[in-house]
């Protein structure tokens, strides 16, 4: 029972961590930009997956215009990216060039008959039910649908540092547990065993009498 709870807890924690990194770290898609548009958005339900909106004096989020980039990916499916500043907030892309990026994306539009493929770096998720879109960070021209995406150095560095951090914490915790907690628990168990033995012994003697 305890093992089940422990496994559930740790699987949940690791799934959340994996989801966090999958959302936050950049990924690159090879796409063909079909169109770009601008739409008035006032996301109220899943604001976590949008850039922070301006608020009015009462603290209500104001509707705002958001840029979008419509694409067809090299694999064949479609993908719509939003194009928003992250500003000085989270995630720390420090993106301020949204309008420039939109201009570049518009410039790279192409038709299915005369495709021009571009790489689009983005973070985030597309989810139709929640109406959330990955945020495009940069676009650049590539040779074709099979163009290399480059080695994801940033992801490698971040994940390695994170693994090192977790390993460091884990080693220290294990050492602490072996030095302090395990002996104490054993002492408690021994005491408990002694006490139980004494009590049953006493009960035993009491029973034998009658």
Partner 1 sequence: MAGLARLMVVGFIVLTVIYVCLSLYSRAVRKEKLREEWYEGAQEQPLEAFVEEGLVEYDKSLRRKLILSVYVIPVILVSVIVYLTNFA
Q: Closest approach of Cβ 86 to partner 1, in Å?
A: 9
Q: Contact with partner 1 (CB under 8 A): which of 89, 115, 150, 197? A: 89
- Based on the shown chain and the rule CB under 8 A, indicate whether residue 61 belongs to the binding site for partner 1: no
Q: C-alpha distances in angstroms, 33 versus 78, 80, 133, 184?
A: 10, 9, 15, 64
Contact window for partner 1 (CB under 8 A) among 14-22, 81-89, 141-149, 199-207: 81-89
Containing 92, the helix (H) or strand (E) segment is none
- Based on the shown chain and the rule CB under 8 A, indicate whether residue 97 belongs to the binding site for partner 1: yes
Contact window for partner 1 (CB under 8 A) among 11-19, 61-69, 82-90, 162-170: 82-90
Helix (H, G, I), strand (E, B) or coil at 2: helix
Where are the extended beta strands (E) located within the chain?
A: 27-41, 64-73, 78-83, 118-123, 135-141
Binding-site string for partner 1 from residue 102 to residue 141, where x marks contact by CB under 8 A and - marks none = -----------------------------------xx---
Residue number with CB closer to partner 1 (74 or 104): 104
Cα 144 versus chain centre, distance: 30
- Based on the shown chain and the rule CB under 8 A, indicate whether residue 150 belongs to the binding site for partner 1: no
Burial-class residue 110 by CB neighbours within 10 Å (0-12, 13-18, 19+).
middle
Interacting residues toward partner 1 by CB under 8 A: 52, 87-89, 92-97, 100, 137-138
């Amino acid at each position: 029972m305890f093992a089940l709870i422990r496994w559930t807890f740790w699987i949940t924690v690791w799934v959340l961590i994996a989801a966090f990194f999958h959302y936050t770290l950049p990924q690159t898609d090879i796409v063909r930009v079909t169109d770009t548009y601008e739409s008035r958005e006032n996301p109220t339900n899943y604001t976590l997956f949008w850039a922070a909106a301006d608020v009015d004096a009462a603290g209500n989020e104001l509707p705002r215009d958001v840029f979008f980039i419509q694409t067809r990916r090299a694999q064949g499916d479609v993908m719509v990216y939003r194009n928003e500043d992250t500003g000085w907030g989270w995630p720390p892309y420090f993106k301020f060039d949204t309008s420039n990026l939109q201009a570049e994306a518009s410039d790279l539009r192409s038709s299915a008959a005369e495709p021009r493929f571009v790489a689009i770096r983005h973070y985030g998720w597309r989810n139709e039910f929640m109406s959330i879109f990955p945020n495009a960070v940069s676009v650049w021209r590539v040779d074709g649908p099979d163009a290399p995406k480059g080695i994801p150095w940033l992801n490698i560095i971040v994940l390695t540092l994170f693994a090192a951090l977790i390993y460091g914490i884990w080693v220290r915790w294990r050492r602490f547990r072996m030095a302090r907690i395990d002996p104490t628990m054993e002492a408690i168990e021994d005491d408990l065993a002694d006490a139980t033995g004494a009590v049953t012994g006493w009960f035993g003697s009491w029973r034998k009498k009658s």
